[in-house]
Amino acid sequence: MESGEKIYNTMNNAGVISLVTGIILIVTGLVLGVMAIVNGAVLLAGKKRVLF
Residue ranges covered by each domain of the chain = 3-47
Q: For 31-50, how does the pLDDT look when each residue is reduced to its tens digit (9 = 90+)?
A: 999 999 999 999 999 988 88
How large is the average pLDDT for residues 8-12? 95
Beta strands in the chain (DSSP E): none
Q: Does the pTM of the predicted model rise above 0.85? A: no
Q: What is residue 16's predicted lDDT score, i.e. its pLDDT?
A: 97
Q: What is residue 51's predicted lDDT score, i.e. its pLDDT?
A: 81
Secondary structure class of 23 (helix, strand, coil): helix
- CB neighbour burial string for 32-49, b if at least 16 within 10 angstroms, e if fewer: eeeeeeeeeeeeeeeeee
Task: In whole angstroms, give the CA distance from residue 9 to residue 40.
Answer: 46
